[in-house]
Amino acid sequence: MLDGRTILVTGAARGLGAEIARSLAAKGADLLLADIAEDEGRAVAQDLGARFLPVDLGDPASIEAVGAHLVREGNGVLHGLVNNGAIATGIGGIPYDEIAIDSWDRVMTVNVRGTWLMTRAAAPALKASGSGRIVNVASDTALWGAPRLMSYVASKGAVMAMTRSFARELGPDRIGVTAVAPGILTTESTDYVPEARHRLYAEGRAVPGPQAPGEITDVVAFLLSEGALSLTGQVLPVNNGFVFN
C-alpha cells in the first residue's frame, strides 16, 4: 500500500506513534521518525530500518531544522506526515479552574503550534511529491467533551479545526489532510487515566472492550495512501464506536 512512499511520523518513540511507525514499515513505507526522546526514538528507528530526527515540537528552530533536512535529503520529496507528537500525560484529572497557566500554555505550544509549524515545515516536500498526505492525530475527547482534561481537549479541538483549514489551503497542491480521533488506547500514556474512565469507554463503545493502538494503525496507513485524497478535511473517530462524528 505504501511502497515507495516516504513518511515522517512525529512522536514516534513510544506508544501510539511507535505503533503507527511499525504498521507503516510493514506496509512498505520509507520512514523518518521524529521525537524529543532521542534514545527511545533511535531504538525504534533502528528496529524498523528507519531514519531518526530529533525534534522538540515546542521549539520553532528545532522544527525548522527538520524541514531543512527534508529539503536536503531524498530530493526534497515527502509523501506523508503524521502529526502524532503531543503532550498527553500529566495534564488530566485537573478541574478547569485549577489548571496552571504555564501548563496550559505548554500544551497549546506543543499540541497546536507544533502541529502548525511541523506542517508548514514539511509542506514544500509534500508539494514536491505530487501526492502528499497529512494525518493529524486528534482525540475523541474533543468530540464528546471529556471533563477534567480541558487543555488537552482544547488543543485537540484546535487540531481538528486546523485539519479543515489545511485541507482547503493545501488542496490545490493535491495534498490531502485528515485527522483521526482515537479514544482511550491501551498505551503507557493512558496509565494515569482513572479506571472509571477506562470502563466508560470499554462499556460505551459500539464494539465493547479495550482498544489497542494497533486497531487504528491500518486507518492511518490508508489515509496516507494515494487513494485517500477524497477524504481530505475529514475527522474520523477511530474509537470502535464510542462517539460518532
Full strand arrangement of the beta sheet holding 30-35? 51-54, 30-35, 6-10, 80-83, 133-137, 176-180, 235-236
Distances (CA, A) of 219 to 2, 113, 134, 244: 13, 25, 13, 16
Contact 38, 45 (CB under 8 A): no
Cell numbers that stand for 5 in this block: 512512499
Told to judge if 96 belongs to the known catalytic residues of this protein, a careful annotator would answer no
Q: Which of 96, 152, 192, 201 is catalytic?
A: 152
Q: List, by residue number, the catalytic residues.
A: 152
